[in-house]
Structure 1
């Protein structure tokens, strides 16, 4: 790239003895990787590949099959903008407008959290349980980008979903992702703060959620790309991070069928507190925890006790 990314960034022309060398794919990959590493990216090469592929409108593999191609001025101009924003900690997914999750493509922007690989553990457990049922009804609370409901629907064609969120922009993004993945016929969407707008008497086989769970005092300790760019509404779990869990665990019993399942993602250090919350209600049995691929506690599942008649 033939000029500095911003006024404070070192120009490649000043840091290289080959200033007259064309800006090929290879040269841009190498320079930008070093630049993003210096600015704190924990995956500078991957970030660079994703951004350059986006700027060139090609698949990442094409960067290496066309390694010595000279990048056009239009592509370099877009790349400079993207790199400057990434150097300011803006998430790559927001810069390119999408994130892959569970083998599907999701549109994301500043109104929703970027889907994380950890959440795939929750989807795996949800799909496993849903596939045991005939025409299951599933409620996804705090749906955000819709990644949980959409991914599960793609793997449970006989299931029907209701996905809720308190944020209208987030709900619109979830609807967009359901449509783009061809699953809008399986998923309904409702603007609601948890259960508030769900009609009384509506019962589900499974309720699932990845609610906000960061303690408020810890938000400022998060990485810059999270605390500066991702929506605080989707992060803040109250003083101890458990506000949403208390509400959901207490209220879910009124919306679950007998023997229905409540499935929640959580941060590993919250395991003991969540076990206590489930047991304290007296409404659940067979409370169990599932680990993610790294072996950390990630998903808690409780089965609603049948109501004695």
Structure 2
């Protein structure tokens, strides 16, 4: 089926015209239950219908009797069919909420995940103990971490690196939209290669999936099939990129500085060992679900307190 459903194809495909918001919602849920992610069928239908109508989920709930225009009907069906095939809701809407801000996202960048907010919280807790701070967000992607920190820590200067010029273009758009472009400096290059100065904080949400894991997940039609592979996969054990980053952390991290690495929970012990071998003291931080999600490392020294 085409990703976009034309209005003329409605009868042929078996989609009866929907007259009200309530009918559209019911149809959307029923359709998505048979799709890529049935567990979120109701939420996805609500979000996509509200997006189609330019309103909120609460309005959709409160007014099921309101009439649905033919144009909105066709647009909603198109969005639902794309979601049914597995395309992420964030790409369909073109934005994703993260740590209290709205970020533009598309297929050039990984979609920010709620788990990454744990990393931002830990980094901000440390940054607030400093009089001034230089932060590097390595592999910034959409700029989610860099922008969230810049918004919440006005005394911080943030450097965001990425090997992808396309990703940096998205990050730049987000920094401008959030009013922090003057404090978020974008540099293109592999990991810490663009960093010549010492920094107080390293934030790293780098690829950490094993290639075998991705193959099985894509087989289930998850959103990862649509996201940039380079932002997801990191070798046979998922640690190839993190190993390279850790090996260069001491060069860029100032005395008394802190590094925060997001990880898949089973990797926390291995990443802790890598950071400890590099001379950092480590601790593991759990996310809201209780999973070991972030490995934090501190270098020796006082830092800028």
TM-score by shorter chain over 0.5: yes
Q: How many residues align?
A: 294
Cα distance in structure 2, aligned partners of 1:95 and 1:301: 34
Contact 1:262/1:302, CA 8 A, preserved across alignment: yes
Inter-partner Cα distance in structure 2 for 1:5 and 1:174 = 38
Report if the CA contact (8 A) 1:192-1:198 is conserved: no
1:268 aligns with 2:265: yes
Distance 1:61 1:153 in 2: 31
RMSD: 1.9
1:213 paired with 2:213, answer no
Deviations 1:112-153 (A, max 9, x none): 111111001001101111111112110000101111111111
1:2-17 mapped onto 2 (5 Å cutoff): 11-13=14-16
Contact 2:36 2:221 (C-alpha < 8 Å) held by counterparts:
no
Residues 1:5 and 1:135: Cα distance change in structure 2 (over 3 Å): farther
**Counterpart mapping for 1:93-112 below 5 A:** 93-112=90-109
- Residue aligning to 1:289: 284
* CA–CA separation in structure 1 for the residues paired with 2:276 and 2:137: 22
Q: TM-score, normalised by structure 1?
A: 0.90
Secondary structure of 2:186 counterpart: strand
Say yes or no: does 1:122 pair with 2:119.
yes
Higher relative contact order (CA 8 A, sep 6+): 2
TM-superposed deviation, 1:60: 2.0
With normalisation by structure 2, the TM-score equals 0.92
Deviation per CA, 1:267-303: give whole Å up to 9, x if none: 001012112212222x212x10000001110001111
Output aligned runs, 1:1-309, within 5 Å.
11-13=14-16, 23-41=19-37, 42-199=39-196, 202-222=197-217, 223-281=220-278, 283-285=279-281, 287-306=282-301
Mind listing any 5+ residue stretches in structure 1 that lack a counterpart? 14-18
Structure 1 runs (4+) deviating above 2 angstroms are: 1-7
Alpha-carbon separation, structure 1, partners of 2:71 and 2:163: 40
